[in-house]
Structure formats: C-alpha cells, structure tokens
Chain A
Amino acid sequence: MKIGVRIMPRNEVLDTQGRAVEKTLGHHDFKVRCCRVGRYVEIDLDESDERRGLDQAQKMTEFVLHNPLIERYELEVIHEK
C-alpha cells in the first residue's frame, strides 16, 4: 500500500517559496490570499493493513521526513485507481 506524507511549513515560519509563488500569481492577475509551498512524499509499503501502514509511515516521518520545529505533516492512504 502507498502512504502519502504531506509536509507543510508551519504558519509561524516565513515561507519564502510560498511568498514568491504568491507574488508571481498576483503579477498575472490571479487573486490569491496566501500561498504556501510544502512537499509531498509517497511511501510504498509492503503492508496491507491501513492502520499498521499509517503507523509505520508516521515513524518514518518523525524520524527524518519532517522537522517539527519548522514543519507540520499529515498522512493519507493513497487509493490508486
């Protein structure tokens, strides 16, 4: 099964990438209130139980994928069509 890890900069941290994208969109007349840029990691696991899969992915995320001081994360099971 595949688990997706969505990692976003915490609101308290100035997100320079998001700010730059926001400006570019604004220059092209798109109305954007705020834009933040994060990263998405897909982990393919040899596991069929969702709860166990999410548990493993959480361990991996907390081990290295995210830095709690500057980022927050969410996990999701990816259901492929």
Chain B
Amino acid sequence: MKSSVVGIVRFPGTNCDRDVWEAVEAEGHRARWLWHADLFDVRSVDRIILAGGFSYGDYLRAGALAARSPVMRSIQEAAARGTPVLGICNGFQILCEVGLLPGALVLNTSMKFIDEWAPISLKATNRYWGGSHFSKGTKLNLPIAHAEGRFYTENLQELLDRNQVWWTYENNPNGSLGSVAGVMNREGHVAGLMSHPERAVAEWMGCEQGKLFFKSDV
C-alpha cells in the first residue's frame, strides 16, 4: 500500500472532517486540512476528500455557496490535472454544484432528513476510491444522513452507458433517479457518494468495510 497526502476540506458547517481524518490516518496516509477561504498548492496533496456536513448552513441549495468558495478553484485545478477527489454527502452535493460531477441532489421524496443504514451495491468499479477492494455487485451496508440526497440528472442512461453510476441503493430511501447513491466523472478520479464510509470503519461502529474507501491503490 502506498502512503499519500490526503487533503480534507473544511467549510463553515463541515462536520464529518474529523471522522474522515481518522479514517485516512488509520490507513497509513497523512491527512492535512484545506481551508475553504484559501487556495492551496495542488502539488501538495495526492488526493482530496470533501467531507459531509452542512456547509454554509445549506443555504440557497445544499453545496451551492461552498461550490463558489476559493478552495474550490484549487480543487478544480487539482481535478484537471488528475488528482483524485472524493465528495461524501455534502461533499458530493458540492462537487455536483461546481460541475465536477454530473447531476444534482435535491430534497428527499419523503421531505424528511433520513439517518439510517442503507444497503448499496457497486454498479461500476472505481480504481481511485475503493479500487480493487470492491467488484461489480459488491454489497455494503453504510450509514446515510441527509435531507437532500435525491439524485437527479437529465441523462441517466448516458451515465449508465459510460459506467459513471458508481453505487446504487438497494431500497432507494430518498427517491433517487435510478436509485443512484454515488457517481463519478468520465475519467473516474472525481467521485461522489451520499453514504458515509467514514462512519463505518470499525467493527464496533456496525461495519468496518467503509475503510476500504480510504485505502489507495494508485
């Protein structure tokens, strides 16, 4: 396993940053904070994770204000040069808002905040996040906690054809189009997932397979 430097982004309202930090360091990587108001040297990090939470209070639309903050300019620059970027929950919403990922995440069909264990299934492998630890059809049970997680896109078939649909829900708790729980960009190095793998990295948490997302093959 290769050790790498993982940048973890902190916006006002991010609240899963510490959990992601622990999950990253537990896999032998070095974590460092990336502050929302600052640009950073894109060569100083090997991978980037946008953790969950309620950046900017979810005002306007979930992730909308965070997507326009300075740190995102560096993240767009890093993504353009191939640095793997993962958005978890609110991080996923931000990556959609900034246009690094296709689609949008809107209010759950139930209109309720859902906080539960949700089984998901791997639709297409992603060599950057989880890599060889998962294969097509792999099933995981991971926590979800969101009000705006209903995935919407105008061209689901196109995403499916290009293997950009990463994970799908088994029971579609939020009404996502195509039961989509996670997607990736065309190259695969930018990915987003509504589930929280950092909340499932030890037996006592109820599941430890979440840690596989933080290992790195590349």
The smallest C-beta distance from A15 to any residue of chain B, in angstroms, reads 9
Q: Which residue of chain A lies nearest to B109 when distances are taken between CB atoms in the complex?
A: A16
Which chain A residues lie closer than 8 Å to B150 at the CB level?
14
Contact A64 B154 (CB under 8 A): no
The smallest C-beta distance from A26 to any residue of chain B, in angstroms, reads 16
Encode contact with B along A56-71: 1 for CB under 8 Å, 0 otherwise. Answer: 0000000111010110
Given contacts A20-B111, A67-B64, contact A14 B104 (CB under 8 A): no
Encode contact with A along B101-118: 1 for CB under 8 Å, 0 otherwise. Answer: 001101111110000000
CA distance A13 to B111 in the complex (A): 14
B205 contacts chain A at the CB level, 8 A cutoff: no
Contact B111 A16 (CB under 8 A): yes
Contact B64 A16 (CB under 8 A): no
CA distance A3 to B56 in the complex (A): 24
Contact A16 B104 (CB under 8 A): no
Contact B106 A70 (CB under 8 A): yes
CA distance A65 to B152 in the complex (A): 18
Contact A17 B107 (CB under 8 A): yes
B13 contacts chain A at the CB level, 8 A cutoff: no
Contact B108 A16 (CB under 8 A): yes
CA distance A67 to B60 in the complex (A): 10
B198 contacts chain A at the CB level, 8 A cutoff: no
B17 contacts chain A at the CB level, 8 A cutoff: no
Given contacts A64-B64, A64-B68, contact A70 B152 (CB under 8 A): yes
Encode contact with A along B68-98: 1 for CB under 8 Å, 0 otherwise. Answer: 1000000000000000000000000000010
CA distance A77 to B153 in the complex (A): 32
Contact of B60 among A14, A17, A64, A70 (CB under 8 A): A64
Query: What band does the interface of chain B fall in when counting residues whose beta carbon is under 8 Å from A?
Result: 20 to 34
Which chain B residues lie closer than 8 Å to A69 at the CB level?
103-104, 152-154
B156 contacts chain A at the CB level, 8 A cutoff: no
CA distance A31 to B27 in the complex (A): 59
Q: Which residue of chain A lies nearest to B102 when distances are taken between CB atoms in the complex?
A: A69
Contact B175 A14 (CB under 8 A): yes
Which chain A residues lie closer than 8 Å to B108 at the CB level?
16
CA distance A20 to B108 in the complex (A): 12
Which chain B residues lie closer than 8 Å to A70 at the CB level?
104, 106, 152
Encode contact with B along A8-44: 1 for CB under 8 Å, 0 otherwise. Answer: 0100111011001000000000000000000000000
B42 contacts chain A at the CB level, 8 A cutoff: no
CA distance A16 to B107 in the complex (A): 7
Contact of A64 among B65, B106, B107 (CB under 8 A): B65
Which chain B residues lie closer than 8 Å to A13 at the CB level?
106, 152
12 A-B contacts (beta carbon < 8 Å): A9-B106, A12-B154, A14-B175, A16-B110, A16-B111, A17-B107, A17-B111, A63-B68, A65-B60, A69-B103, A69-B154, A70-B104
